[in-house]
């Protein structure tokens, strides 16, 4: 799979919610796109990431 | 020779800019030719757009508008004048973005914020002591009207949430995400990307502290989302927000808005 433009190996399909936690993102401060589609936050727990998926996780920091 | 003089077609018998000024205006007046203020005389040619105006005096309304338009190339002016830009959050990013876009002549803006101007805002936000206690929407609208009276400013005193964001910003060409909190930034971006496929978003993330100016960049993250900032420098204790980097980030966001309004999607 690709995460934010970089190749990444996953052994078996992984749940998005768990993937987000493993990658140390805060689910309330991100937007996730998989293969060109934005994933609503309510679906993080049900979506699986598989090999060949292209995942973009956009993370925001505070200040403005 | 036909030129445009102070916004009107003029059959010109004078061959140079200084000739026109000497014969029709006062020697102290400034001359702007095709959007550029000249400091040396130059020869005039057909279709030149010439403004000769008194220093420091408010020109007639129609003349001011045409002069502001002439400051940009006609293609840029016409494109941005048709633009409708939403600004979500009127703090350091939003207030400075709005000022830049007003100066450039973006024709219609929607300003949304629930808050009032506080003393702690003055270190980086485009407000004055005279604005303290006013709604940011009102204080900013007032400034923008003083900068460019020819644009339409709509305001909304409201906290933007996932249930009103689409209704508020769904008809905008571009929305600037200019909130302070990372959760609010993510909320707006998620709601608009999911529900408003026509809307482009230009967001700000990472501009606190005094790290290098050059770390602040514009990147296109997904089709409709651009993020400006160094994407790391979080506002927190010991790493506060200061005017220069906030304004640099606001400048990145404003310029990306103008690029989008003029048909360029590359960063």
> Does A31 reach chain B within 8 Å, measured CB to CB?
yes
Q: Which two tokens stand for residue B224?
A: 């409709």
Task: Kindly list the distances between the CA atom of residue B19 and the CA atoms of B1, B27, B43, B75, in Å, as whole numbers in the listed order.
Answer: 14, 10, 9, 29
* 8 Å CB contact of A29 and B221: no
CB atoms closer than 10 angstroms to residue B161: 12
pLDDT, position B171: 98
Length of chain B measured in residues: 267
Rounded to 5°, angle at Cα B245 from B220 and B265: 20
Q: Decide if B203 touches A, using CB distance below 8 A.
A: yes
Write the DSSP string, B162-224: TTTHHHHHTT-SEEEE--SSHHHHHHHHHHHHHH-TT-EEEEE----TTS-GGG-EEEEEETT
Distance in angstroms (rounded) separating the CA atoms of residues B72 and B148 = 14
How would you classify the pairing of strands B108-112 and B152-156? parallel
Q: B234 phi and psi, to 5 degrees?
A: -85, 140
> Which residues on chain A are in Cβ contact (under 8 Å) with B203?
60
3-state DSSP helix/strand/coil percent for chain B, to nearest 5?
35, 20, 40
Report the distance separating Cα B133 and Cα B170, nearest Å: 30
Q: Inter-chain contact B235–A63, Cβ cutoff 8 Å?
A: yes
Q: For residue B225, list its beta bridge partners.
A: B201, B222
Q: Which residues are bridge partners to B91 per DSSP?
A: none
Question: Residue B53 has which token pair?
Answer: 């105006």
3-state secondary structure of A29: helix
CB count in 10 Å sphere of residue B171: 14
pLDDT at res. A60: 98
**Which chain A residues are closer than 8 Å to B94 by Cβ?**
64
- ipTM of model: 0.96
How far A56 CA sits from the closest chain B CA (Å)? 8
Cα distance between residue B198 and residue B142, in whole Å? 30
Question: Sign of torsion, CA B259 B88 B64 B150?
Answer: positive
> Which residue numbers in chain A have pLDDT < 70?
none
Mean local confidence (pLDDT), B5-18? 94
pLDDT digits (tens, 9 = 90+) for B98-154: 999 999 999 999 999 999 999 999 999 999 999 999 999 999 999 999 999 999 999
B202: tokens are 């230009």
Chain A interface includes B195 (CB < 8 A): no
Please name the helix (run of DSSP H) or strand (run of DSSP E) that holds residue A2, with its range, or none: strand A2-3
Q: Which residue of B has its CA nearest to A4?
A: B221
Give pLDDT tens digits for B61-110: 888 888 888 888 778 899 999 999 999 999 999 999 999 999 999 999 99
Degrees to nearest 5, angle at CA B236 with B231 and B238: 115
- Look at residue B103 in the predicted model and tell me its pLDDT: 96
Contact B190, A41 (CB under 8 A): yes
Give the pair of three-digit tokens for residue B244: 């220069």
Among A56, A62, A63, most B C-beta atoms within 10 A, so best to mutate, is A63
In 3D, which of A57, A64, A62 has the Cα closest to residue A25? A57
Minimum CA–CA partner of B233 in chain A: A61
Our separate counts of H helices and E strands in chain B read 8, 12
Query: What pLDDT, in 10s, does the model give residues B202-258?
Result: 999 999 999 999 999 999 999 999 999 999 999 999 999 999 999 999 999 999 999
3-state DSSP assignment of residue B7? coil
Test A62 with B233 for CB contact under 8 angstroms.
no
Q: Which residues of A touch B181 (CB under 8 A)?
A: 62
Closest chain B CA to residue A28: B183
């Amino acid at each position: 799979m690709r995460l934010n433009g970089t190749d990444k190996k996953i052994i078996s399909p992984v749940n998005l919610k768990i993937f987000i936690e493993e990658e140390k993102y805060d689910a309330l401060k991100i937007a996730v796109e998989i293969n060109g589609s934005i994933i609503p936050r309510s679906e993080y727990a049900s979506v699986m990431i598989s090999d060949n998926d292209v995942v973009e996780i956009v993370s925001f920091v505070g200040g403005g | 020779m036909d030129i445009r003089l102070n916004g009107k077609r003029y059959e010109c018998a004078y061959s140079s800019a200084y000739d026109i000024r000497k014969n029709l205006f006062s020697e102290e007046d400034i001359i702007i030719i095709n959007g550029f203020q000249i400091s040396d005389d130059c020869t005039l040619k057909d279709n030149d757009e010439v403004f000769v105006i008194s220093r420091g005096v408010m020109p007639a309304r129609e003349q001011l508008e045409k002069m502001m338009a002439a400051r940009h190339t006609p293609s840029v002016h016409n494109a941005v004048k048709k633009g409708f830009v939403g600004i979500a959050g009127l703090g350091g990013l939003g207030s400075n973005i709005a000022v830049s876009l007003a100066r450039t002549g973006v024709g219609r803006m929607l300003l949304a914020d629930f808050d009032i101007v506080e003393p702690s805002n003055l270190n980086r936000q485009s407000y004055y002591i005279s604005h303290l206690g006013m709604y940011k929407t009102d204080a900013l609208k007032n400034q923008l009207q003083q900068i460019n009276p020819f644009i339409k400013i709509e305001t909304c005193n409201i906290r933007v949430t996932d249930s009103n964001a689409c209704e508020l910003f769904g008809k905008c060409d571009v929305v600037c995400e200019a909130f302070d909190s990372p959760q609010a930034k993510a909320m707006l971006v998620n709601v608009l990307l999911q529900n408003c496929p026509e809307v482009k978003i230009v967001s700000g993330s990472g501009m606190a502290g005094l790290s290098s100016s050059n770390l602040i960049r514009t990147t296109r993250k997904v089709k409709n989302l651009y993020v400006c900032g160094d994407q790391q420098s979080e506002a927190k204790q010991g790493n506060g927000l200061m005017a220069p980097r906030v304004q640099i980030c606001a400048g990145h966001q404003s310029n990306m808005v103008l690029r989008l309004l003029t048909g360029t999607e590359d960063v």
